[in-house]
Amino acid sequence: MDKFIGKWKLESSDNFDGYMEAVGVGFMLRKVASTLKPDLIFEKGDDDDTFVMKTVSTFKSTEIKFKLGEEFDEETADGRKMKTTMTIAENKLTQAQKGAVDTTLVREITADDTLTLVCTAPGKDGDITSTRVYKKSS
C-alpha cells in the first residue's frame, strides 16, 4: 500500500460517462461528474492495518476507511449502498463493490508517478469499462 499513499491528480478520463450510466447514475449527475477533475488521496489510518481513501472535488468529496481483505459498508458518491472489499496484489489495489450493480475498480501504479484506474461494470452487451489516469502530486 505504501506506493499508493499520497495525493493523485486526475489527468485523463475515458468512457467515465458510459461506466456511470451502466451503474445507474442519472443523466444530470453524470454530466456534472464528467466535468470534474477530482484528487485521489490515500493515507494511513489510525493504526497500521487501516487506510483512508478520499476523492476530493469542488462538487462532492467522499472518504472511505478500510482494512485490506475486510468487507465494509460503502456509500458511493452517487448514493449507491455497496458491500465493498479492498485487496492488493503487487501494484494493483482492487475495490470489489457488491450491490444493485456489482462493480470492480482496479487502481494500478504503472510508473512511480502514474496511477491508472480501470472501472468495470456489466453492460447489456458485455462489460463497460472506464480508464482514468492520475499523476502523483505529493
Domain that holds residue 101: 2-136
Q: What average pLDDT does the structure give for the chain? A: 93
The pLDDT of residue 91 is 86
Please tell me whether residue 37 adopts helix, strand or coil conformation.
coil
The pLDDT of residue 78 is 86
**Total number of domains in the chain:** 1
106: CATH:
2.40.128.20
Q: Rounded to whole angstroms, how far apart are CA atoms 70 and 47? A: 15
The pLDDT of residue 72 is 97
The pLDDT of residue 58 is 80
Burial class (CB in 10 A: 0-12, 13-18, 19+), 84: buried
Tens of pLDDT along 38-90?
999 999 988 889 999 999 988 888 999 999 999 999 999 888 999 999 999 98
